[in-house]
Amino acid sequence: MGNMEGYYEMELESKERFRVPINVFRLAIPSILH
């Protein structure tokens, strides 16, 4: 099990870039063991 977080980086038609944050989320499904 683990967690993930980060961001998406987007680019507008004007070539300006911006980041959209991704909040922390768990990399697991309850009651399932990999």
Residue-range domain boundaries for the chain: 1-34
Per-residue pLDDT tens digits for 9-30? 999 999 999 999 999 998 887 7
List strand residue ranges (DSSP E) for the chain, in order: 3-11, 17-26
Is a pLDDT exceeding 90 seen at residue 31? no
Separation between Cα atoms, residue 16 and residue 33, nearest integer Å: 43
Tokens of 33: 């063991």
Separation between Cα atoms, residue 26 and residue 4, nearest integer Å: 6
Beta-bridge partners for 7: 21
Q: Which is more confidently placed, 12 or 33?
A: 12
Phi, psi of 11 (to 5 degrees): -135, 130
pTM: 0.55
